[in-house]
């Protein structure tokens, strides 16, 4: 199978490399990056020539729309556009409509697992789009990740990603607030973890990704909050959730509050390059006023 891959940044480059290592004919393109070990094209159009599947990993919906407008007319009828970017639902569905008119199937397949997951081939894909296309792309998901869930029609992969990450942002803030409160109440952090991790406060943010250094499994907090998932990326996903909530007339007050807290953390306090769990030291140093 010939694969075109557009977007060879921190996530796209290792994903493309894993496919190439598995024996696929992969031609990549990026406007900036030029990773070693991959066959590179000089233009996006050259990257998609003859490709049965074109994979994109792009920064936002506007760029996805622009790239799709450029490459869809050059793609083979019956081929698949597999977009692994995390973008707004509206852009995903708009691209799917245009692609359908060209006889091209689309899959929106945002990922969870970060750079480590991309490098290790352990990503989780949340996939929207045509069932037949999903099945055809199955071997690629198996190489790039450990799990792919078909979530329904076009845009539903993005919907699943932003709903998941809205929960993640909210629960991480709650976990950080609780640790900061426990500190001020004189409750030992290990005792707090031992109770919460085995009772009704259990969550992924507490049990698998604890924001308190030296507590629970190893996490970015144990490495000065060097990001596994940067706060700036969490802010991006939370903003996407609130954009979607506005479009759908959904009431998401905690999602809105989490978005504002991460906005302050990233934009006002300049902490966007820290892991999103670095909210804990932020709350440690603050009082109620």
Question: Which positions are annotated as active-site residues?
Answer: 161
Q: Which of 156, 174, 161, 159 is nearest to 254 (CA)?
A: 174
Distance CA 275, CA 132 (A): 38
Q: Which two tokens stand for residue 83?
A: 């977009």
H or E element at residue 48: helix 44-48
Q: Which of 30, 23, 83 is nearest to 53 (CA)?
A: 83
The answer to whether residues 229 and 278 touch, using CB atoms and an 8 Å cutoff, is no
- Give the number of other CB atoms < 10 A from CB of residue 227: 20
Token pair 């352990």 is found at 122
Angle at 57 (CA atoms; ends 53, 62), nearest 5 degrees: 110
What sign results for the dihedral spanned by CA atoms 212, 223, 237, 258? positive
């Amino acid at each position: 199978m010939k694969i075109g891959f557009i977007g060879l940044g921190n996530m796209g480059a290792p994903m493309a490399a894993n496919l190439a290592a598995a024996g696929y004919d992969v031609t990549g393109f990026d406007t900036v990056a030029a990773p070693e070990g991959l066959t590179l094209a000089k233009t996006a159009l050259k990257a998609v020539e003859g490709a049965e599947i074109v994979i994109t990993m792009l920064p936002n919906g506007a760029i996805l729309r622009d790239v799709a407008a450029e490459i869809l007319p050059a793609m083979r009828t019956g081929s698949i556009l597999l977009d692994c970017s995390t973008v707004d639902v509206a852009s995903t569905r708009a691209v799917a409509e245009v692609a359908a008119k060209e006889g091209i199937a689309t899959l929106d397949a945002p990922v969870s697992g970060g750079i480590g997951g991309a490098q290790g081939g352990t990503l989780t894909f949340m996939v929207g789009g045509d069932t037949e296309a999903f099945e055809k792309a199955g071997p690629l998901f198996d190489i790039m990740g450990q799990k792919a869930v078909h979530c329904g029609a076009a845009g539903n992969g993005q919907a699943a990603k932003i709903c998941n990450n809205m929960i993640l942002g909210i629960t991480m803030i709650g976990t950080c607030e609780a640790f900061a409160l426990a500190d001020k109440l004189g409750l030992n952090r290990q005792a707090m973890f031992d109770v919460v991790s085995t009772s009704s406060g259990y969550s992924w943010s507490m049990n698998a990704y604890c924001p308190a250094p030296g507590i629970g499994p190893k996490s970015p907090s144990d490495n000065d909050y060097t990001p596994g998932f940067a706060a700036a990326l969490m802010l991006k996903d939370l903003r996407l959730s609130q954009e979607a909530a506005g479009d759908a007339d959904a009431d998401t007050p905690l999602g809105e509050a989490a978005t504002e807290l991460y906005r302050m953390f990233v934009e006002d306090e300049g902490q966007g390059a820290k892991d999103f769990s670095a909210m804990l030291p932020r709350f440690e140093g603050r009082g109620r006023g």
